[in-house]
Homo-oligomer: A and B are copies of this chain.
Amino acid sequence: MDAPPPHALSHSPAAAARVSVDEHRAHIAALLDERLRVEHNDDAVDDVLLEDALGRLLAETVLSPLALPPFRNSQMDGFAVRAAEAVVGRPLPVMGTIAAAPGEVSALAPMTAARIMTGAPVPDGADAIVPVEHAIVTTTDAGETREVTGADADAVAVAVAVAVTVMVTDTVQPGAFVREAGSDLPAGGELLPARALLASRHLAALAAAGIDRVRVRRRIRIAIISTGSELAAPGTTLGPGQIFDANLPALAAAASSAGAEVVLRERVTDDAAMFLVALGAAAELADLIVTAGGISQGEFEVVREVLEPRGAWVGSVALQPGGPQATATFAGVPVLCFPGNPVSAQLSFELFLAPLLREDAGLPARVTESRVLTVDLESVPGRVQLVRARADGPNGITPVAGPGSHLVAAMAAADRIIVVPAETARLAAGSEVTAWVL
């Protein structure tokens, strides 16, 4: 390892002392903080099209290149007037129609009105809009003149199109129903703050300001390497002694869910050369490498075999499942090595890595709850235990199946993880526990 981790107690394959969960978490945070900075620093941005920006984290404050709205426009369908000229009892002749459409708009001649549609530019000279509902309109229909008032909404809608004169039913205030240019945001104003997690409403604001590309924080690029000679790819047929590899799809999906980008997925046997090739490719592509398997104290532990001579910390964390853990750097890229039992691998990811990834991606922190145990629960003293469980009624929680780290079906059936503190050996039914919501 290029830099020794804070708790590098021992490089022996079976460090006698266990490090605590908190120590290991801090160690991983420090390793990532130091190492990710090389490539995934504050300058690591992607310039993406608006249509690819949903869910991304804005890299920098965005100022609006134009005023919003960009020009003075009408808030209503109605008539553009000069407020001072729009007097009760005095009809104004209606000269033309202003649509919400491209093109220059002529100034409003004195003592006239213009039909105007919602969003259309208010003509120079005009300073107020009279909504159709507040007007008495004179129309000529087949040569016959008639008046229509706002009370007859159907007739008014038709009448606007053929209005000959318009007369207000009440005094008009200057500025009435006019949206001033820049009334939402002046040109140069802050449209969006840095680190906005882009949702549809943010994309609307960017688009309204004419922006079609945006600089977002680059996702952390993760390579996943699943190790184990016994592993077969799902979709193939198992030979004797083989099991299907659950770790590659699970860790890749967990990384995506936590806002990272999975740039490499490799399954390798317990062959050191093959693992080294995968590590080399991973270090080329990724900001962070995650491995599964190969770190416990048996033989054929390829991750330990390859990385320990290169300075990895390989040890034991006071955690169940997920005790065996290792960390390293390879070609300057941090490597987090999780155990190969699929439940251990998944829970190690959730405990040690997911919170850091979520924070980097600007995603909300994991939701935790207080719930009441429905049954007694034994725990191994001295280790944090992560217990797969299900919510049971509005406040209860019940463990599913046993603690075995191979119980992938039971893990899938869980919707909560109870976190039992290291000092706790037993929790009676009725005890309050803290649980992650999956």
Chain A residues packing against B (C-beta within 8 Å): 12-16, 50-51, 54, 64, 66, 68-71, 73, 75, 77, 97, 99-105, 115, 117-121, 132, 153-154, 156-157, 160-161, 179, 183-185, 189, 191-192, 196, 199-213, 228-230, 232-254, 256-257, 265, 270, 296-300, 340-342, 346, 401, 404, 406-412, 414, 438
Q: Tell me the minimal C-beta distance from A167 to chain B in angstroms.
A: 19
Contact assessment for A64 and B409 in the assembled complex, using a CB-CB cutoff below 8 Å: yes
Contact assessment for A270 and B101 in the assembled complex, using a CB-CB cutoff below 8 Å: yes
When the two chains form the complex, which single residue of B66, B156, B184 contacts A407, counting CB atoms closer than 8 Å?
B184
Known: A120-B241, A154-B16. A249 touches B204 (CB 8 A): yes
Contact assessment for A252 and B411 in the assembled complex, using a CB-CB cutoff below 8 Å: no
**Chain B residues within 8 Å of A251, by CB:** 200
Q: Tell me the minimal C-beta distance from A241 to chain B in angstroms.
A: 5
Known: A204-B342, A404-B75. A213 touches B241 (CB 8 A): no
**Chain B residues within 8 Å of A15, by CB:** 153
Contact assessment for B14 and A153 in the assembled complex, using a CB-CB cutoff below 8 Å: yes
**Chain B residues within 8 Å of A153, by CB:** 14-16, 297
**Chain B residues within 8 Å of A75, by CB:** 404, 406
**Chain B residues within 8 Å of A105, by CB:** 240-241
Contact assessment for B408 and A68 in the assembled complex, using a CB-CB cutoff below 8 Å: yes
Contact assessment for A204 and B408 in the assembled complex, using a CB-CB cutoff below 8 Å: yes
Query: In the complex the two chains form, what is the Cα distance from A196 to B438 in whole Å?
Result: 13
**Chain B residues within 8 Å of A249, by CB:** 50-51, 200, 203-204, 206-207
Residue of B nearest to A340 (CB): B119
Query: In the complex the two chains form, what is the Cα distance from A185 to B68 in whole Å?
Result: 60
Which of A12, A184, A238, A414 counts the most chain B CB atoms within 10 A? Answer: A184
Contact assessment for A245 and B342 in the assembled complex, using a CB-CB cutoff below 8 Å: no
Contact assessment for B50 and A234 in the assembled complex, using a CB-CB cutoff below 8 Å: yes
Contact assessment for A234 and B212 in the assembled complex, using a CB-CB cutoff below 8 Å: yes
**Chain B residues within 8 Å of A247, by CB:** 204
Contact assessment for A404 and B191 in the assembled complex, using a CB-CB cutoff below 8 Å: no
Q: Tell me the minimal C-beta distance from A130 to chain B in angstroms.
A: 14
Q: Tell me the minimal C-beta distance from A308 to chain B in angstroms.
A: 12
Contact assessment for A204 and B346 in the assembled complex, using a CB-CB cutoff below 8 Å: yes
Query: In the complex the two chains form, what is the Cα distance from A185 to B69 in whole Å?
Result: 61
Known: A14-B153, A201-B438. A54 touches B246 (CB 8 A): no
Known: A205-B409, A246-B207, A412-B192. A104 touches B241 (CB 8 A): yes
